[in-house]
Amino acid sequence: MFNDFIPDTTANGVNPTGAQPPRLEGPQPQEEQPKVSIRKPKPERVICGLFVATLWLLAIFFLPPWSLVILVALSALICLFELRSMLKRVGYVLPFFWMAVMTALWYTAMYLSMHYAKGDATELGLTMLVPFVLLPVFVMVLFFRVLLSRRAQKPMETAALAVGAFIYVPYLLSFLVPIALYPKFDVSAGIFMAFSLVLVTKLSDTGAYFVGTMLGSHKMCPRLSPGKTWEGTCGGYLVSMIGALIIIAAAYIFKDATCLDFVRALTDTPAKVMWALLTVIVLVTVGICGDLLESLFKRQCGVKDSSALFPAMGGFFDTFDSIIFVPAAFIFMVALGGLILS
């Protein structure tokens, strides 16, 4: 009778009937659950970001207007050099010297056109056409410089990338110049408006970084930027809107501050305030697209950061990628708002 409780096994101890051995009674050991760790922002990245922001703030408000143009041009050149270094890794050698010369000429033309323009809209518009006449000349020079070069292994692709890189970085960043030096207002008002655009955009980056680091779980675009989450993106929009509301409120609390004249001119009616907040949403969206576009370049070139210039932040291009499209988008929204609300 005892043999009834012994399972029939083969010589190697395998139960041919597939019966499971009897389960022991009593408490069973629990499987160890993976611990969910809460990510925290990197202190070195925060410190480095504050340091860069402080330098820019001091340069914007304590240097003469022409030095601001030089600062923006140098920033564009550093971004362009890092982009050129990334493209070189995949076989495209851009003519950086010629692109640097064209950048210097372009920003000089932008500065002179704004410096000698008056408040009249017609004269200002005609004056602003002067630097844009140079653009097709620059495009032609870049194409011929690359196509006639004997060292270019992929001349057509390299020429197209050279033109695209010039328009992408120096050209688009140069729209900060007419905003900062707009002759209708005191120069401090234009500079503060340019600073506000950069501030609102970087507030979005900051809010997205902190909220995404601590609460982010749903990836926004993992193929391009694995660190971006929808939670962080919503946090970036929220922080930017709060920053914009603080700037608008300051414009009416400090009514005698001439540096806020530009802000007051864009928000002197409830309809304009609503349009200004819509403009903030557009600028943040454009900034996110600029960030993703730079991430696409890095993916295609096989690099994690554009350079190792800033600890835990990457390169100069990584810092400015979200700002590149913002000035042109701001000018477009202001012009469109003037047509709709007039």
Q: What is the pLDDT along the chain (342 residues), one digit of tens a residue?
A: 444 444 444 444 445 454 555 554 444 444 444 443 445 555 555 566 566 667 666 766 677 777 888 888 998 999 999 999 999 988 888 999 999 999 999 999 888 888 776 655 555 555 667 777 888 888 899 988 888 887 777 888 999 999 999 999 999 999 998 888 887 888 888 888 988 998 899 888 888 878 888 886 778 777 777 778 888 889 889 999 999 999 999 999 998 888 899 999 999 999 999 999 999 999 999 999 998 998 888 888 888 877 776 666 677 888 888 899 999 999 999 999 989 987
According to DSSP, the β-strands at 225-229 and 219-221 are: antiparallel
Contact yes or no for 208/216 (Cβ under 8 A) = no
Task: Check whether residue 142 and residue 291 sit in a common domain.
Answer: no
Please say which residue of 167, 184, 201 terminates a domain.
184
Task: Check whether residue 160 and residue 256 sit in a common domain.
Answer: no
227: helix, strand or coil: strand
Its pTM stands at 0.80
- Domain assignment of residue 218, yes or no: yes
- Domain assignment of residue 10, yes or no: no
Here the tokens at position 90 are 């995949």
The contacts of residue 49 (CB under 8 Å, 6+ apart) are 206, 313
Task: Check whether residue 190 and residue 270 sit in a common domain.
Answer: yes
Task: Check whether residue 230 and residue 317 sit in a common domain.
Answer: yes
Task: Check whether residue 247 and residue 121 sit in a common domain.
Answer: no
Exposure string of 110-128, with b = 16+ CB inside 10 Å and e = fewer, is: bbebbeebeeeeeebeebe
Task: Check whether residue 179 and residue 88 sit in a common domain.
Answer: yes
> Where are the alpha helices (H) located in 14-120, listed in sequence order?
43-62, 65-88, 96-115
- Domain assignment of residue 314, yes or no: yes
Q: Which of 339, 331, 293 is nearest to 124 (CA)?
A: 331
- Domain assignment of residue 47, yes or no: no
- Domain assignment of residue 29, yes or no: no
- Amino acid identity of residue 241, one-letter, is M
According to the model, what pLDDT value does residue 305 have?
A: 79
End-to-end CA distance of the chain: 102
Distance CA 104, CA 106 (A): 5
Please say which residue of 131, 156, 184 terminates a domain.
184
Task: Check whether residue 163 and residue 281 sit in a common domain.
Answer: no
Please say which residue of 184, 202, 220 terminates a domain.
184
Task: Check whether residue 215 and residue 319 sit in a common domain.
Answer: yes
- What is the domain range of residue 167? 61-184
Task: Check whether residue 199 and residue 291 sit in a common domain.
Answer: yes
Domain count, the chain: 2
Task: Check whether residue 179 and residue 145 sit in a common domain.
Answer: yes
Task: Check whether residue 177 and residue 215 sit in a common domain.
Answer: no
- Domain assignment of residue 101, yes or no: yes
- Domain assignment of residue 43, yes or no: no
Task: Check whether residue 106 and residue 208 sit in a common domain.
Answer: no
- Domain assignment of residue 80, yes or no: yes
Q: Which of 288, 298, 280, 283 is nearest to 230 (CA)?
A: 288
